[in-house]
Amino acid sequence: MALALALRRLSSSVDKPIRPLFNATSHYYMSSLPNEAVYDKEKNGVSWPKQLNAPLEAVDPEIADIIEHEKARQWKGLELIPSENFTSVSVMQAVGSVMTNKYSEGYPGARYYGGNEFIDMAETLCQKRALEAFRLDPAKWGVNVQPLSGIMALDLPHGGHLSHGYQTDTKKISAVSIFFETMPYRLDESTGYIDYDQLEKSATLFRPKLLVAGASAYARLYDYARIRKVCDKQKAILLADMAHISGLVAAGVIPSPFEYADVVTTTTHKSLRGPRGAMIFFRKGVKEINKQGKETKSIKLSFLDFKVAHTTTTITGLAVALKQATTPEYKAYQEQVLSNCSRFAQSLNEKGYELVSGGTENHLVLVNLKNKGIDGSRVEKVLEAVHIAANKNTVPGDVSAMVPGGIRMGDLLRRISPKLQIFFDAAVKLAVKIKGEAKGTKLKDFLAALPAPHFQSEIAKLRHDN
């Protein structure tokens, strides 16, 4: 548990004196005032600097205790939610640095506030590293590293993401579906793969201005070349959302969307293993020349009208993560992720579980639990009770995202228990048993039955074996 040890090492720094602002050996943990200023204030009977420079345990023991409990939860359990990861100590140090004290609206060299010399350096370096991490020519690609986390796109029940414009027959669910006219494309339910033929037919009728190639719970690789042809035919922008797979793309262990996309977006805290943020990559130059001989420019991002001040600590931490993404160690890590997930999918198949698409080509598996007589919400609760974090997820045919028929799991760790499929199978069987003894059919009835002593005994055994 190297990651857990790293977390412990980071927490142990709380006991150490906070380093002064002008200590030449480090710029990670800094006091809000240099030692000399603190001394002068105390000499004159001013006490407030003590609060600025005291460690978290002294200032707010309640929050410090909550953080320690969360650290213990991450350390003792199995974290299998594909949209989560363990970032490095160095990234956490950058995110917890004095960069948090600065406003920096605007872009490097064009800020609204003064005093951004070093913020500009950090953001410019982050942009440079982002292009390097994905092997992009800066003459052809630009990148905005400021976005906070977060049309025709893959439908939510078929593995798409809520933010891509999900709506039901009667209600618009996400903000994108409210502001834009959206239409989903779907899987071929007989194979679990994206139905590209139907996508092309739908695009011919819908004529999208933008087509999104990206998913939240799709275990297969995208055929970017096929979608590019559809976009060219419809004169549509191809936006590749690689939020889940950007770390795998950076490591070069799966195909990259950059050859085909006009815009590429990603969050930075999933497989990329960075802080919680996002990036938007965009092509530069001329997109095409129309029949009248006029040039159509590629997309250019500008200072947005609806914009809040971004977090400079996130950008600084992202720069650190992107540097790591270019190392041989990082590629080995991502290769291990793919290997682990492939073995896990195979073991689930051997146990008789139905996987959407039959397997995986990336870092996640999507299990359809309907043939087991149980749903993802109930299994999620039992897994959580035995210290395995996974998440309920819609599968094709679902009508509710709150009580869906699937469970989504992923492996972003270097090592994983070879008995994981045994623990998962036992948790599913226990969930079926609890459901059978519950006094009603609703999730609240299941939760009411969960604390029964005989169920808690089985949970305790599973937790001990895990």
Strand partners, 409: 365
Q: Which residue in 233, 213, 232 sits closest to 223, CA to CA?
A: 213
Strand partners, 110: 107
Taken in order 121, 309, 28, 79, is the CA torsion positive or negative? negative
Domains of the chain in start order, with CATH, are: 106-327 (3.40.640.10), 329-465 (3.90.1150.10)
The two tokens of residue 40 are 């002068």
Contact call for residues 141 and 282 (beta carbons, < 8 A): yes
The residue with tokens 């039992």 is 382
Cα atoms in the 13 Å half-sphere on the side-chain side of 40: 5
Q: How high is the pLDDT of residue 419? A: 83
Q: What is the DSSP pairing of strand 187-188 with strand 210-213?
A: unpaired
Q: Which residue in 47, 386, 363, 30 sits closest to 218, CA to CA?
A: 363
Euclidean distance between the first and the last CA atom of the chain, given in angstroms as a whole number: 14
- pTM of the full structure: 0.84
Contact call for residues 300 and 282 (beta carbons, < 8 A): yes
Helix, strand or coil, per DSSP, at residue 423:
helix
Q: How high is the pLDDT of residue 227? A: 97
Cα atoms in the 13 Å half-sphere on the side-chain side of 245: 28
Residues in the chain with pLDDT values less than 70:
1-43, 147-180, 287-290, 293-310, 412-417
Q: Which ranges of 60-116 would DSSP assign to H, the alpha helix?
A: 61-76, 89-95
Q: Among all residues, which ones are annotated catalytic?
A: 103, 105, 241, 267, 270, 276
Contact call for residues 34 and 98 (beta carbons, < 8 A): no
Q: How high is the pLDDT of residue 168? A: 59
Q: How high is the pLDDT of residue 236? A: 93
- Count of Cβ atoms closer than 10 Å to residue 164 Cβ: 23
How many helices and strands in the chain, by DSSP H and E? 17, 19
Report how far apart, in Å, the C-alpha atoms of 459 and of each of 137, 155, 434, 455 are.
53, 35, 11, 6
Q: How high is the pLDDT of residue 339? A: 93
Q: How high is the pLDDT of residue 353? A: 97
The C-alpha atoms of residue 31 and residue 432 are separated, in whole angstroms, by 54
DSSP 227-275: HHHHHHHHT-EEEEE-TTTHHHHHHTSS--STTT-SEEEEESSSTT---
- 149: phi then psi, degrees, rounded to nearest 5: -60, 145
